[in-house]
């Protein structure tokens, strides 16, 4: 069983914040993959479903970001889930908007949600780092992550979330490289190396030009 966790803050005030892209990702997985309704459990919102034959739980902690580990830890203990089977979606300042990386373990880099997870379940869970870009000045980070996505961001945000929803079964099977490739191919700025090759069109042969020679000339050319 896998536990996919989206990090964010609860309530309409925060719904479109950059910090809530983790919530957005698991919401899209639930929608795209036909998961069950969200219900209140483990100090969060929980939804159950199946991805490629694997039972999967989706969790959105509603403790606010800096206490996310409480909710995740409670769900893990109840279902007896190991940290290795936990996948956390979170915003990443050090990746350009629309970029995505999957990694296991590592530090929390000052992210309050990850810091709380480290305290409650340790560092050995998997993370899906969702790039939101950096404001350019450390002093601006707090207002930046708690600010809403701009309208223009939908050009990359919508394709990113839709691709995550479609490719989620790869995560359930531990095929992280295939997951990252599938999502990268959906980006508007994907490089030719990231995009799948376009299907080759069959080569059309030109019709031969009509032979305008006379019968006599054809006979001469044949024996010349």
Concerning whether 108 is annotated as a catalytic residue, the answer is no
In this structure, how many other beta carbons lie within 10 angstroms of the beta carbon of residue 189?
A: 12
Query: Which of 19, 90, 111, 134 is the catalytic position?
Result: 19
CA distance 102 to 4: 13
Q: Give the three-state DSSP class for 17.
A: strand
- Phi and psi angles of residue 179, each rounded to the nearest 5 degrees, phi first: -60, -50
Residue 98 corresponds to which tokens in the numbers above? 């629309």
* CA separation, residue 95 to residues 39, 102, 117, 142, 158 (Å): 32, 12, 21, 17, 17
Residue by residue, DSSP assigns 81-141 as --GGGEEEEEEETTS-TT-EEEEES---TT-HHHHHHHHHH-S-SEEEEEE----SSGGGH
Catalytic center residues: 19
């Amino acid at each position: 069983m896998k536990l996919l966790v989206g990090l964010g803050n609860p309530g309409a005030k925060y719904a479109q914040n950059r910090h809530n892209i983790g919530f957005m990702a698991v919401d899209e997985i639930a929608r795209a993959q036909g998961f069950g309704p969200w219900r209140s459990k483990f100090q969060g919102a929980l939804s159950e479903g199946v991805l490629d034959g694997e039972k999967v739980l989706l969790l959105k902690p509603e403790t606010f970001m800096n206490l996310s580990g409480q909710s995740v830890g409670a769900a893990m203990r109840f279902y007896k889930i190991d940290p290795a089977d936990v996948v956390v979606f979170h915003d990443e300042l050090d990746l350009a908007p629309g970029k995505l990386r999957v990694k296991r373990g590592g530090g929390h880099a000052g992210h309050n949600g990850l810091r709380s997870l480290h305290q409650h379940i340790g560092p050995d869970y998997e993370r899906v780092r969702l790039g939101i870009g950096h404001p350019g000045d450390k002093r601006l980070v707090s207002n930046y992550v708690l600010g809403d996505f701009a309208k223009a961001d939908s050009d990359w945000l919508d394709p990113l979330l839709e691709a995550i929803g479609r490719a989620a079964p790869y995560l359930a099977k531990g095929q992280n490289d295939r997951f990252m490739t599938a999502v990268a191919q959906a980006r508007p700025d994907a490089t030719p190396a990231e995009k799948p090759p376009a299907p080759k069109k069959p080569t059309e042969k030109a019709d031969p030009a009509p032979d305008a020679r006379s019968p006599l000339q054809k006979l001469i050319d044949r024996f010349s």
